[in-house]
């Protein structure tokens, strides 16, 4: 079963974020809690980690794209 990678909720005042850089590409193996993508807001920069181990099969938000909390930005398959 595939696992969605979602942008976390980082605070009430943060409504929009931007994808800075993907650290993995589709087809790459990933481990749970491994950094996947760098994201920035007006106030902080942070890394979204893989929620599970597997293969990164899809990226849904390109570098430079604006995303919101809980948005699915990638998919990992076992």
Domain boundaries, the chain: 3-77
Q: What does the pLDDT look like over 64-76, one tens digit per residue?
A: 999 999 999 999 9
Q: What does the pLDDT look like over 20-53, one tens digit per residue?
A: 999 999 999 999 999 999 999 988 899 999 999 9
Determine the straight-line distance between the first and last CA of the chain, rounded to whole angstroms.
7
pLDDT the model gives residue 10: 81
pLDDT the model gives residue 22: 98
Report pTM.
0.91
Q: Which of 39, 61, 20 is nearest to 75 (CA)?
A: 61
**Domain 3-77 is in which class?**
mainly beta
**CB-based burial, 42-55: b 16+ in 10 Å, e otherwise:** eeeebebebbbebe
Q: What does the pLDDT look like over 3-19, one tens digit per residue?
A: 999 999 887 777 789 99
């Amino acid at each position: 079963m595939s696992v969605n990678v979602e942008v976390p909720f980082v605070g009430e005042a943060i409504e929009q974020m931007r994808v800075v850089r993907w650290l993995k590409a589709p087809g790459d193996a990933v481990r749970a809690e491994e950094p996947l993508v760098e994201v920035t807001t007006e106030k902080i920069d942070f890394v979204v980690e893989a929620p599970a181990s597997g293969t990164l099969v899809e990226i849904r938000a390109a570098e430079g794209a604006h995303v919101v909390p809980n948005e699915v930005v990638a998919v990992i398959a076992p």
